[in-house]
Amino acid sequence: MRTALIQMKASMERDENLSRAEAMLRQAAEQGAQVACLAECFATWFFPQKINPDDQQLAEPIDGPTMTLMRRTAKALGMVLVVPFYERVMAGELYNSTAVVDEKGEILGLYRKHHIPMSAYFNEKFYFRPGNKGYPVFDTTFGKIGVLICYDRHFPEGARCLGLNGAEVVFVPTATTKRGFSQSVWEPELRGHAIANGYFVAGVNRVGTEFESEYYGKSVFVDPIGQIISQASDTEEEILIADLDRARLEEVRQVWPFYRDRRPEAYGAIVDA
């Protein structure tokens, strides 16, 4: 699976962001990418840093401008796209979502962010309802794909669910700044999920400055033993490409048979607490 992470900046103009994303996806296709993932809410600046009721108007239905363009692009390029967007189901029902689009431009399904932060730096509970579609794995032509969105990566239970559901690569679209502790745990957490679950992890962040907050980039591919395959810069837009060999999963799981040796009957306290 030749895979691309699209690390880009965001302006205050949706059309400009969509045009830049489309151009970068075309460049990824020219480099042979079969699957590409964009960053969290890539079509807009990351508005949840502040509370502004008007910004709820940025939410789009599944047939809105972002998904319409991305479906057309996927079909034109023959590429599977992992597309984060601000989803509107109806007035007052809004989600932080990611759609997986196949190479024919068809939507295979949605993942909706489960864990919604409300902290000193992010006010996401004002904008997003918690996800309600479980932890689906999408069986694409090029491999089995799972998704966690940003804050979800701090919770190992979701990463395990994706492994149990058959994920071979888990994409983690993110919009994370240098404030707080995030940067120090970015790579260790993604590496930990890869190791514990025996799959590839691909984390994509944005770069640039929004609302005086600087994003740290460092989009990264991690293999199933936690080794960093490749990593982007912390300041520049970049198309990060990696070849993810699915045979590596078999190799690692023969040495580390975690799915054989796990003891779910002993873990009740995790969910009962």
Active-site annotation, residues: 40, 113, 150
- 127: three-class secondary structure by DSSP: coil
* Amino acid residing at 113: K
Q: 13 vs 17, 24, 119, 175, CA distance in Å?
A: 6, 17, 26, 17
Question: Concatenated DSSP letters for 159-214?
Answer: HHHHHHTT-SEEEEE---BSSTTHHHHHHHHHHHHHHHHTSEEEEE--EEEETTEE
In sequence order, what DSSP letters do the residues of 65-126 get, joined into one string?
HHHHHHHHHHHHHT-EEEEEEEEEEETTEEEEEEEEE-TTS-EEEEEE-----BSSS-BGGG
Residue 98 and residue 80: Cα distance in Å, rounded? 13
Which has the closest alpha carbon to 146: 87, 188, 198?
198
